[in-house]
Homo-oligomer: A and B are copies of this chain.
């Protein structure tokens, strides 16, 4: 990808770290399906499936592990 979207894993607060984990999760999708209109098309279906939402939350949890470790858990 041409744009610089990830210059650091360091965030000021845990919440910002969680939100960065969400960005990482979405980027993981976008590298596979870069067509944004296609992604918008898919959204309603999976945002209304409990299992899809759990799977999305799982990916965020894995990325949050990385961000939290990078920030030494904001201790």
- Report whether over half of chain A's contact residues are helix, strand or loop; otherwise say mixed: helix
Total count of chain A residues near the partner, CB < 8 A: 54
* B42 close to A48 (CB less than 8 A): yes
In the assembly, what is the distance between CA of A6 and CA of B31, in Å?
Answer: 20
Given A59-B54, A70-B68, decide whether A14 and B25 contact each other with a Cβ distance below 8 A. no
* B52 close to A50 (CB less than 8 A): yes
* B18 close to A14 (CB less than 8 A): no
* B32 close to A53 (CB less than 8 A): yes
Q: Which residues of chain A have a CB within 8 Å of any CB of chain B?
A: 1, 4-10, 13-15, 18-19, 22, 24-29, 31-33, 38, 42-43, 45-66, 68-70, 73-75
